[in-house]
Amino acid sequence: MKVVISDPKTGKTYQTDVAKEQEAGLVGLKIGDLVEGAIVGANAYKLQITGGSDKEGFPMRRDVSGPRRIRALLSSGTGIQTSRKGERRIKSVRGNTISENIMQLNTKVTEYGEKSLDELFPLKQKEGKTNV
């Protein structure tokens, strides 16, 4: 599972992978719950779950309960972009509970630790690329 960490102070985001053993600690949590940063390697940090998407790319919605995927009639919010006022569409979305089917989890920092996120998650250089 990939975890995307947003830092509201700097506006930067960091992406990291969670080991299979630690994914079990996330299963059952809902959007809005607080998570210890130690799960992703950011000790002393607290993260709030803000959303995510499943294996097929369907987004999680806060107002759909459970880990299920449904087809809902939507007019605004997560999972839909309307082009006309009053437009509604039937779209597939995932519920607000984390399950084994979730591949990406979006979080934001609520409490900071002593080390900065830049130190914990350094920028990776692409191989074969040179700055000229």
Model pLDDT, residue 115 = 87
Q: How far apart are CA 29 and CA 96, in angstroms?
A: 8
Task: Give residue-wise pLDDT tens across range 38-75.
Answer: 998 888 899 999 999 999 999 999 999 999 999 999 99
pLDDT of residue 11: 92
pLDDT over 90, % of the chain: 67
pLDDT for position 123: 76
Whether the Cβ atoms of residue 42 and residue 113 lie closer than 8 Å to each other:
yes
CA atoms within 13 A on the CB side of 11: 0
